Chain A
Amino acid sequence: GAGVSQTPSNKVTEKGKYVELRCDPISGHTALYWYRQSLGQGPEFLIYFQGTGAADDSGLPNDRFFAVRPEGSVSTLKIQRTERGDSAVYLCASSLIASGGVNEQFFGPGTRLTVL
């Protein structure tokens, strides 16, 4: 079946603008994760959802970042008043469940965000 998909693949915006990044997880996966990968670094955790609720948002850097998953499937990461330091690849991953047992995280291709 289809893997995790993310749109857009690339997003260029200007400092101060608002952006939305979308993630479509694998069908049936209840857990969904957002990571951010800056140049030369490994992915860094932002937030994860179990169903519709954000189970852990401890990685969100500040209140400009917000994510939703209203129906427990598609998720949107929203960034307000973008700054140049927000430029990175934003990765989404999903897993069947969030804890114990089979919990391999399957990653999407990422959205490359560039803030000018």
Chain B
Amino acid sequence: AQRVTQPEKLLSVFKGAPVELKCNYSYSGSPELFWYVQYSRQRLQLLLRHISRESIKGFTADLNKGETSFHLKKPFAQEEDSAMYYCALRDLEYGNKLVFGAGTILRVKS
């Protein structure tokens, strides 16, 4: 069965420090992976998707099929990055539903 695992409930870093939010998945086919972000008192929104291979707000994520991982990285954290981050997998066998991980709270301290 498809599953997304985010091992860290909370990640706390200082401003300017590198950030890596971990995401591992299990999926039998070719996965499509996403990172969603939810800032305080805002709705869930797409941050980036692996097929775009783009950097958004300084964040990047590379799909590693060998390790079944899709970790989110940023070289220098900023206070405004503090938010809840969800890794999600699109289940291509069943339309467009998303399977989410439990989420990681990122706190960037000044």
Contacts and interface: CB of A to CB of B under 8 A. Distances in A.
B102 interface: yes
Interface in A74-92: 91
Contacts of A45: 97-99
Given A40-B102, A42-B100, A107 B95 contact: no
Nearest to A31: B96
Interface in B66-110: 86, 88, 90, 92, 94-103
B100 A107 contact: no
Nearest to A59: B97
A70 B44 CA distance: 26
Given A42-B100, A50-B95, A98-B96, A105 B43 contact: no
Given A42-B86, A42-B103, A43-B100, A56 B44 contact: no
Interface string B31-67: 0000000000001111001000000000000000000
Describe B's contact surface by its main secondary structure: mixed
30 contacts: A3-B43, A4-B43, A31-B95, A31-B96, A33-B96, A33-B97, A33-B98, A35-B98, A35-B100, A40-B9, A42-B4, A42-B6, A42-B86, A42-B102, A43-B86, A45-B98, A45-B99, A50-B95, A56-B94, A56-B95, A56-B97, A58-B94, A98-B96, A99-B95, A99-B96, A103-B96, A104-B46, A104-B49, A105-B98, A107-B43
Interface of A: 3-4, 31, 33, 35, 40-45, 48, 50, 55-56, 58-59, 91, 95, 98-99, 103-110
Interface residues of B, number: 22
B95 A108 contact: no
Contacts of A48: 95-97
Contacts of B99: 45
A1 to B, nearest CB: 15
Contacts of B101: 42
Nearest to A4: B43
A91 B88 CA distance: 15
